[in-house]
Structure 1
Amino acid sequence: MRQLLQCGRFSFRLEQRPLVMGILNVTPDSFSDGGRYGALEFAVSHAEQMVRDGVDLIDIGGESTRPGAPAVGLEEELRRVMPALYALQGLGSALSVDTCKPAVMREAIIAGADMINDINGFRAPGAIEAVQGSDCGLCVMHMQGTPQDMQAQPAYTDVVAEVIAFLRERITALTRAGIERERICVDPGLGFGKTVEQNYALLRATGRLREELGLPVLIGMSRKSMIGAVTGRPVEERLSGSIAGALAAFAHGAKIVRVHDVAETVDALKVWRAATIDQTPQ
């Protein structure tokens, strides 16, 4: 499995250490921190703190994808995302934009986005065309249904095999369009059209995804209901569970984790690596 991820201005050597992607929601209704960073000055301040805490990528999202969230129009998503993307250009961290709209992808790439993170797996008409002429990284995620209905009745015969088959098909579509594999990572989409049991089955199968697809795997389970289902904790009390999930993802072979709590995750990763990989703490 290759150990390089090319993301615009950044080339990440993944054999050195896993990456931490920090979540920056510039939305009023995200499930965990909706509204907290909607004002540009608060978004910039939070991003600056994430950089100080050791973040590798900052993922900017202008449309909530929590279960049941209403869709956001193109102009509104651009109004939320673009000022933050422009304001964060000089921070020294790779910048990702979390969107499934081709028009937002195009504008984000023009503005200097280093990655496009698409929960819809670049299936929208024009999505592949929007990214193929760039050098940005691409995160291809699996989702059954849409955010509006995905948790109604998730159904699979074999969730791991079906997610792998979907991701393989999307990778083929991207590479046939001339997109280099070095730009692509995959995300099984924990919480996006899966039951709690299916989420944990996919988490345990991270190594299988990596081996069968030959690409880096990103895991996003920070503060999600799959943690609450195990711990009984509400969303604001899921820090410990989120860190445990991140370390489990790394242990199973993930190369990137997407998290709300950057400082705590980075520190936990440093200790975990020192304890398990026989390296001198940095």
Structure 2
Amino acid sequence: MRALLSLTMMLAASQLAAQSHDDHQHQTSPEQHDPHAGHDMAEPAKPASPGPAMETPPPPAAGSGPPRAADAIWGAEAMRASRKELRRTHGDFPVFWFQGDRLEAQVREGADVYLWDIQGYYGGPTTRLWFKSEGEGTFGSAPEDAEVQALYAKAFAPFWDVQAGIRHDIAGPDTTHAVIGVQGLTPYMFEIDAALFLSHRGDLTARIEGEIDQRITQRLILQPRIEANLSAQDIAPLGIGAGLDQIEIGARLRYEIAREFAPYIGIEQSWRTGRSADFVRARGEDPSTTSFVVGLRFWF
């Protein structure tokens, strides 16, 4: 009897275990029914504030006070002199500047020569009165070529002026020219000075100068330079031929003892071309000249 009871209990336990296993096999998780289960289904973030237009507007009293804070404390009358001084020292005020670009002696085959090239201006950042002078001559004699210019300049772009005025030749045939040109600084720091000259006799000539400072050290500077002179016609009294009259290419190495004071040495090659070369040969001179130069550059 006991054996029969034990067998019955074992069969019941076995059926319960089998049913529990079947229930476990047929039970499914939420992930099996919902393909999106396990993914973040949170709502997208709300956009940020749309900007100042939706913010709280300023109060009506804003901006009703004096336009300058100092006026609110000291009064507009007390601050007027201070503002006038500020405009004078930081605005469109005139200054004077003068530069001796080239004051030099040129040692060449034959007669040695002296040369000067100076310029300066008086005025503000956008309008100025320029003056320029250059010339040369053989040591021990009067200048062979010399000129002075007076020009009015107006800025038309950053670092660029348009210039107009007169030029008068004070050596050689007495000649007065009308002048128009540009002067300024190109990208990569090339300084350019270009001008057209129309003489009172109707002769049209042009000059283009370019130079750049190549800093070797804080005080030692190499300055390559090129100058070209052109003419629209032959000018026999001046020995100038039509086309490219003369071209000069040189380099000067200067040492700035002070920023405003720098002696230099250098070399320059000059060519007269075309009809100008013919005029030079007719005088018994060489149209090609090599010069060793020593000089001084200063400004204040």
- Normalising by the residue count of structure 2, what TM-score does the alignment of the two structures yield? 0.28
Structure with bigger helix share is 1
The structure carrying a bigger strand percent of its residues is 2
Larger radius of gyration: 2
What TM-score do the two structures reach when normalised by structure 1? 0.29
